[in-house]
Structure 1
C-alpha cells in the first residue's frame, strides 16, 4: 500500500517534490519507492524525461488499478462501514434523469439500513474504475475495460444554446444548424464528440471544457453551443441557456455500470429497483417539453 500511495501521489501531483510534501516524506524516499514499484512490476510507470513528470501508457492503466486497490483497502478498515455499508452510486452529470428522486426515495423506504449515496464525479466512468463508487449511472458507450453495463432507458438528445441567441428562437434544431457554430465539448465526462456529425458536415470549431458547470458557462456566455441528453435540461437549468430538441440526433443510452468483480452485496437489488422505476412509467421529459433556459 505504501508503494501504491506513493505512485498515486506522484501521478496526481506530476512532481516528486510535491508528492513527497503531500505524503510527508523526503523526495529521495518517494523516488526510491516509485523505482521499487516499477522494478517489481517490470515496467516504467512514469516518464522522467521532462521537468513535469508524465505517466507512461502503462502508468495510465496502472493508475486506475492502484486507486481501486487503495480505495478497497481503506474501505475494508473503516469500522463504521461494517455496521452500515453505504452503496455509492456515481454519476458525471444528470444522475438518473427524471427517475433520480423516485429512486432515492424508494430506496430509503425499502432499504433504510443501507444508505444510498449519490456522488457526482467528473470522470467518464464517474469514479467507478478508480474504486470511488460501487456502481455508476453513465451515458453513451463506455469502453473502459473490466466494467459490466446494462441499459436502463434511452434519452433523446438536445441542443443547448445561449438563451439570448438566434438559435434559441427556434422550436427545434438539427445537427446542421449547429455545424457553423463553435461546439463546446466536455472531454472529461461528456458523450458528445465531432463524430456525432456526418463527415462532410462536422462543426467548424470546437471548445473543450472539463465539467458540466464550465460547459454551461461557456454556452451561456455565447462562446459556443452544446449537445447533451434530455435529462440535462431538467437537472441543470441555467438562466443563460436554452435547450431545444435535436430532432436528427440518435438517442443516448443510460447505463448502470459496475466492475466485473465481486462488489457491494446490494448491487443486484439496485439494478432491479432501477428497472422497476423505469417500468412504472414516470416518463422522461418529452423533447417538446424541455426547459426553455431555466
Structure 2
C-alpha cells in the first residue's frame, strides 16, 4: 500500500491544471489548452483534491463551478505559480511589468495621472493597464498583480484599500425622452428593461427598493455589449460616473442619478503578493486620489 500523499508531494503541474480548469470552467477545454487528455486532467485534479483533503470543483451541475474552497485556493495557486516563474526569470526580476487590471473605466479621471506619475517615478518598472471581463479583473487567475475594482471586494484571499467613491449615472438611449432630463431617479428607470452585467458589473436589481424593482432585465457579458443594447433602445442601465469619460458612445446618454448610493473604487491585490513594486503602486494611488 502506497503512503498517503501530502501537500509536499504536489507539483507545479497540479496547480497549472487547476488554474486552467478554473478559468475554462470545463475540464476538456482545460486539458486541450495544457496539451493533456481529458482523463489525465481529471486525474490531476483528483490528485490535487485528494492531497488537500477538500473539494475544489463542484461537478454536480451542468456547468462546472468552483467550491468556496476552490475560490480561495485559486488565488493562492495563482500567486504560487507567479512566484515560481519570477524566481526562474532572474534576468527580469527587477523589471517585470506590474500588471494592473480593471473590468471597466480603470481609475476614472485618475487613470492618466496615475500612469504618467508611475512612468516618471518608476521608469524601470513598466505599469501595464489590462482590462479583464471578470469580477476580480484578472486577480483570481494570476493574470494581474493588482486591480482597480468597483463595489465591495468580497473575493477570498484579496486585500483592498478604498481609494475614492463615484456617483452613479443612468445610461439611456440618446434619443430617449429620458436623455433630455437633467437628473433621473431609480423610479424613472424601473418601468424599463435594465441591462445587467453579472460577470464584472456592479448593478443588480437589489439597487432598487423591493417594492419598486424593474420587472425585466437583459443580461450581457461585458461593457461593450452593455453599451450596445442600450444604444439599440433595448434597455437602460446604471453605471459609475467614470464610464462616460472612459467609454463614450454616440447612441448612449448618461444622466446623473439623484438617489443611488455612491460606488466605492478600491485597489486590490492577493494577500500573498509577489511583485516587489506593489507597495509603491498602493502609495502612489492613494496620493493621487487624495489630492483631488
Deviation at 1:4, TM superposition (A): 1.9
2:207 pairs, out of 191, 196, 200, with 196
Distance 1:243 1:132, change over 3 A: same
Which position in structure 2 is the counterpart of 1:105?
116
Which position in structure 2 is the counterpart of 1:34?
45
Distance 1:245 1:123, change over 3 A: same
> With structure 1 as the length reference, what TM-score do the two structures score?
0.86
Which position in structure 2 is the counterpart of 1:219?
230
Equivalent runs, 1:163-202 vs 2, <5 Å: 163-202=174-213
> With structure 2 as the length reference, what TM-score do the two structures score?
0.87
1:145 pairs, out of 156, 160, 166, with 156
Provide, for residues 62-94 of structure 1, a one-character-per-residue CA deviation record: whole Å limited to 9, x for no partner.
334333332332333334531413222111110
1:242 pairs, out of 246, 253, 275, with 253
1:93 equivalent in alignment to 2:104: yes
Which position in structure 2 is the counterpart of 1:134?
145
Counterpart of 1:22 in 2: which secondary structure? helix
Distance 1:176 1:52 in 2: 35
Deviation at 1:47, TM superposition (A): 4.7
1:121 equivalent in alignment to 2:132: yes
Distance 1:264 1:202, change over 3 A: same
Which position in structure 2 is the counterpart of 1:63?
74
Moved more, 97-106 or 132-141: 132-141
Length, aligned pairs only: 281
Deviation at 1:184, TM superposition (A): 0.8
2:19 pairs, out of 8, 30, 50, with 8
CA RMSD of aligned residues (A): 2.3
Would the aligned equivalents of 1:16 and 1:31 in 2 still touch at CA under 8 Å? yes
Distance 1:272 1:60 in 2: 28
Moved more, 177-186 or 6-15: 6-15
Unpaired segments of 5 or more residues in structure 1? 282-294
Distance 1:60 1:279 in 2: 33
